[in-house]
Amino acid sequence: MPERLFERLYRETATMNWQPTEVIRSRGRQRALRQRAGAVASTAAAVLLLAAGTAVLVWRPAAAPVPPGGPTSATPLSIPASPSASPSSVAPPAVLKSVPVSAMLQAADTGITSAQDEPRGAEDWQLWWLLGYCPTRVTNLFDHPPIGDRQRLFTANSDSFVLQSVQAYAAGEAEAALAAWTSAVAECPRFEFQGTVTVTILARNFTGDESILVETSTRNGRSLYALVREGTLLTEILARPADQATSDALARKAARRLCPVANSC
């Protein structure tokens, strides 16, 4: 079909006498001037109509006399409120695009006074780094990227520390992110990476809106990761030495820190 159209177009235009370029340009300028003049005329007519309407409004008859009771005796107009102005309608909380310091664990929560924000190399201690070596994992942990994050490291000594990360998500994404973590852990109960690695969920929904406590065992020993969601915020806490009561207590303290920031209390 396109070839027939081009052949027909060629036959119809092959014998046409085209006007010189200057003639075509001159006609184009004239057409533009006529269109501009028409637009000016239309604007002028609209101005005249508006002026006429204003004159009619100005010279309208005088208003009727006010009753003896004065203007206050008139019944006030009752304007129904817009449905959007109903007291029961509450605007959803704003989505956090950054994580404030107030959302993080404090020295009073950990019992460790030495704290460092955004520590270098902290990613190597996080759960996603270990799960990245699991060959049977099919869940992509990066399908739900955060829009803000913050990390803090409390260090007493090389064997005693608390590492926390908090991520802020768009509405509905924090729930999806924690669900992805839960699926990834279930897909990787046991695998080989520099020895045998085991991953187990020890507890679920023990604090916050949602939470899981994950135990890992590697050649370097045992670790406990508490993941807690409050609203659009999701935190991961790793504490050494690994103790379930300590991880549980830190997770609950973290939930209390996150709650007012996420407006989920």
Quote the pLDDT of residue 51: 42
pLDDT at 176 over 60: yes
Q: 197: closest CA among 135, 109, 124, 108?
A: 135
Quote the pLDDT of residue 37: 42
Query: Where do the structural domains in the chain lie, given as residue ranges?
Result: 18-53, 101-262
Task: Tell me the C-alpha distance between 166 and 150, whole Å.
Answer: 5
Q: What rounded mean pLDDT belongs to the chain? A: 77
pLDDT at 32 over 70: no
Is 190:239 a contact under the CB 8 Å cutoff? no
Quote the pLDDT of residue 73: 42
Peptide bond into 93 cis (omega under 30): no
Apex 101 CA angle, 97 and 107, nearest 5: 155
Quote the pLDDT of residue 96: 87
Q: 190: closest CA among 215, 211, 172?
A: 215
In this predicted model, what pLDDT tens digit does every residue of 51-82 receive, in sequence order? Answer: 444 433 334 444 444 333 444 444 443 434 44
Quote the pLDDT of residue 80: 43
Q: What are the C-alpha distances in Å from 91 to residues 85, 88, 95, 229, 265?
A: 11, 10, 12, 21, 16
Helix spans in the chain (H): 2-13, 21-58, 107-110, 127-131, 173-187, 244-262
Token duo for residue 244: 């379930």
Apex 239 CA angle, 234 and 245, nearest 5: 95
Q: Note if the pTM is more than 0.85.
A: no
In this predicted model, what pLDDT tens digit does every residue of 103-152 receive, in sequence order? Answer: 999 999 999 999 999 888 877 789 999 999 999 999 998 899 999 999 99
Chosen CATH of 101-262 out of 3.10.20.30, 3.40.50.300, 3.40.1000.70, 3.30.450.40: 3.40.1000.70
> Counting every residue, how long is the chain?
265
pLDDT at 194 over 80: yes
SS3 92: coil
pLDDT at 24 over 90: no
- Identity at 249, one-letter amino acid code: A
SS3 112: coil
pLDDT at 14 over 60: no
In this predicted model, what pLDDT tens digit does every residue of 77-108 receive, in sequence order? Answer: 343 444 444 444 444 554 788 999 999 999 99
